[in-house]
Each structure stands twice: as C-alpha cells, then as structure tokens.
C-alpha cells in the first residue's frame, strides 16, 4: 500500500539568473583588482635641460609692436606714424613672402592695433600673426 505524504513533493531546480549576476560581479571585481595591481614602468630618459639659446631672427618674419600712445616699433626700431606704411611696403617689395607678427602693449589702444592691421593689409601682406602674450618692452 502506498501512503501519500501531506507535504507536496517539488522537483529541485537550478535558477540561472542569480548565477549570471554573481558571475558578472566576480568578473568585474577581478578586473578592477587586476587593473589596480598593474604598475606602469617606463624607461628613464635623460632629457636635455632647457637652455636659453639665442636663435638668429628669421629674416622673413617682421616683428611689429604697438605701444601706448600709438608708438610703433618694427624689428625693435621706432618708426614714426607717417613712415609705418612706407616701411612695410619696402619690406614687402624686398620679400613678397614676408610674415608680420603683431604684438601690442597692455596700454595700447585697440583702435591703434586695428589701424596697424589695416596698413599691413593695404600693403599686400597676407601672412599675419598675432602675439597674445605681453610684448617685451621696446628700447626707447
């Protein structure tokens, strides 16, 4: 005779979803631990120390500075306001590939710099650069 149990009989099941979650957690943990233990090692290189070497000025670059009071210096030489355009024209005729680097003093007016830029363009010079750091003081 067969007697049935009052407790229902269930089959055992393996749930896969929690197993996947645990595997991803372990994988991420091992990756983080292995990356934190990696030490980057490099080769020590003896780089040359910076030396303030004086480089000869580039003859194709003309340094133009505008100081307060519309004082204009071309290649560190003072040029009166009425001689700026003829000087630039002479430099352009000597070398059509001339480049102009414009810098201005903190006290220089914006309009003076724009006037100088217009003069440079009127001459025909198209290679124009601007220095945005403070201009070194020109000799007086």
Q: What are 93-110's pLDDT values in tens digits?
A: 888 888 998 888 888 888
- Rounded CA separation 76/73 (Å): 5
**Amino acid 44: pLDDT:** 80
The rounded mean pLDDT for the chain is: 82
- Which DSSP helix (H) or strand (E) runs through 8? none
**Amino acid 26: pLDDT:** 95
**Amino acid 21: pLDDT:** 92
Is the confidence at residue 8, as pLDDT, over 90? no
Kindly tell me the sign of the dihedral angle through the C-alpha atoms of 30, 35, 41, 42.
Answer: positive
Phi, psi of 117, rounded to the nearest 5 degrees? -60, -40
Provide the residue ranges of all domains of the chain, joining segments of one domain with +. Answer: 61-130
How much is the average pLDDT of 108-129? 89
pTM: 0.54
How much is the average pLDDT of 6-28? 86
C-alpha Rg value of the chain to the nearest Å = 38
On whether the CB atoms of residues 72 and 105 are closer than 8 A, the answer is: no
Of residues 37 and 69, the one with the higher pLDDT is 69
CATH number of 61-130: 3.30.420.270
């Amino acid at each position: 005779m067969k007697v049935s149990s009052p407790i229902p009989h269930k089959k055992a099941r393996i749930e896969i979803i929690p197993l996947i979650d645990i595997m991803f957690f372990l994988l991420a943990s091992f990756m983080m631990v292995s990356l934190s233990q990696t030490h980057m090692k490099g080769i020590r290189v003896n780089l040359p120390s910076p030396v303030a070497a004086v480089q000869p000025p580039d003859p194709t670059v003309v340094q133009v500075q505008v100081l307060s009071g519309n004082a204009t210096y071309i290649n560190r030489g003072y040029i009166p306001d009425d001689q700026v355009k003829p000087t630039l024209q002479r430099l352009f005729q000597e070398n059509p590939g001339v480049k102009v680097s414009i810098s201005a003093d903190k006290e220089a007016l914006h309009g003076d710099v724009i006037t100088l830029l217009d003069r440079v363009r009127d001459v025909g010079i198209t290679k124009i650069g601007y220095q945005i750091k403070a201009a070194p003081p020109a000799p007086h």
